[in-house]
Structure 1
Amino acid sequence: MSPKAGWELESCVWQTPELLVEIETAWSLSGYLLVCFSAGYFIHDTVDIVVSGQARASWEYLVHHVMAMGAFFSGIFWSSFVGGGVLTLLVEVSNIFLTIRMMMKINNAQDLLLYRINKYVNLVMYFLFRLAPQAYLTHFFLQYAGQRTQGTFLLGILLMLDIMILIYFSRLLRSDFCPEREPSSQHKDKFLTE
């Protein structure tokens, strides 16, 4: 998440707090533009991954991006569930600490105090900005189970994202709190799995 997108998210929630409660019907120009900007980011990043030849190594990101774009297009083209899109973007706040973690791992700085502090902050931020919003959204969208609506489509996407987020969380816990004695050679270059 870029600093500009972070500021836009904060501004959007501050200006229209009902976006976090009235997930289906609340709408604001700033929320709509934020969802548009984020969809554009996911499109750009997807094209970049494919063009740079990293699709095979980054297939998880591609799946995530395609699902996110599907959800954001709902808000863009039908102007419904914009609040859900904004709430989903709270998930990206924890990327700040995940990025710090990755940069420190790349530089073999896992023995530094900053890394140890970041791993606990990362855990808290992951819970507050990934797991809690996802649980809230899943609870909200479960009311659409069994209906043939746009909400059911979004519930399907959300459940797949839930699975991905839980897998990433288990990898993070295993790596930072239950590390293997010898790193797996299969995933030695993947910092999410280490």
Structure 2
Amino acid sequence: FYLHPELTEDLVGWYPPGAHSLVAVSVGYFLEDFVDMLCNQKLHQSWELLFHHSVVIVCFGIAVVLHQYVGFALVALLVEINSIFLHLRQILLMANLVHTTCYRLNSIINLGTYVVFRIATLAWMTHWLFLNRENVPTATYAVGIVGMAIMTPMNIILFYRLLRSDFLKSSRDVQQEKEE
């Protein structure tokens, strides 16, 4: 958006060179991750991410196949900036580094980028869909609204879980940590 400010004027029909490829590669990534989770994780552990990936694959797939809404898909990819910190959090948890400054700093950055790049982006995308209702074909609009209706609550719930896990520890949790 910085390099191509004209993208902000047309999220439907115009996109910069390489943007279509970026969205197509993203579809490939989500497909690969979907199959990997199906093969290597228990369904009760991964159903939310499988559902999330399904929605993204459908929405981004529409942009790739139609060569439209690529700009809108690029906006959605801003969400992935926060994924860097979500993944780092997982790595730190697996390395048992929860009680480190690095984990604490990542937790703060994670929540900050979560609000900016997930919550605010999804809110903006929903707002854009409502504002552009007359310009978006009914089927595409329905997919977009359903996608937002699924992704927004999922992300709010995940935000709450992160907040509770990293910042709102109960007195019982604190007591258990002291005993360990």
Same fold (TM over 0.5): yes
Task: Describe the SS at the equivalent of 1:29.
Answer: coil
TM-score, length basis structure 2: 0.85
| 2:72 is equivalent to residue 87 of structure 1 | no
1:43-122 equivalent positions in 2, closer than 5 A: 43-122=31-110
| 2:16 is equivalent to residue 22 of structure 1 | no
Pairing partner for 1:176 from 153, 166, 170: 166
2:178 alignment partner in structure 1: none
2:143 alignment partner in structure 1: 153
**AA partner of residue 108 (structure 2):** Y
Asked if 2 retains the 8 angstrom alpha-carbon contact of 1:19 and 1:86, the reply is no
TM-score, length basis structure 1: 0.80
Deviations 1:38-93 (A, max 9, x none): 00111111111112253332011100000001110111111111111111011011
1:32-47 equivalent positions in 2, closer than 5 A: 32-47=20-35
Asked if 2 retains the 8 angstrom alpha-carbon contact of 1:75 and 1:85, the reply is yes
**AA partner of residue 168 (structure 1):** L
RMSD: 2.1
Distance 1:31 1:75 in 2: 11
1:9 alignment partner in structure 2: none
Asked if 2 retains the 8 angstrom alpha-carbon contact of 1:138 and 1:158, the reply is yes
> Quick check: which one's helix share is greater?
2
Task: Describe the SS at the equivalent of 2:82.
Answer: helix
Asked if 2 retains the 8 angstrom alpha-carbon contact of 1:26 and 1:83, the reply is yes
Change (3 A) 1:87 1:23: same
Deviations 1:5-62 (A, max 9, x none): xxxxxxxx45433334422232233111111000011111111111225333201110
Pair member with larger Rg:
2
| 2:113 is equivalent to residue 125 of structure 1 | yes
Distance 1:118 1:99 in 2: 10
Report the number of matched residues.
171
Asked if 2 retains the 8 angstrom alpha-carbon contact of 1:23 and 1:83, the reply is yes
Asked if 2 retains the 8 angstrom alpha-carbon contact of 1:138 and 1:155, the reply is yes
Q: Which runs of 5+ in 2 are unaligned?
A: 175-180
**AA partner of residue 157 (structure 2):** I
Q: How many angstroms does 1:99 deviate by?
A: 1.5
Task: Work out the percentage of aligned pairs sharing the same amino acid.
Answer: 31
1:140 alignment partner in structure 2: 128
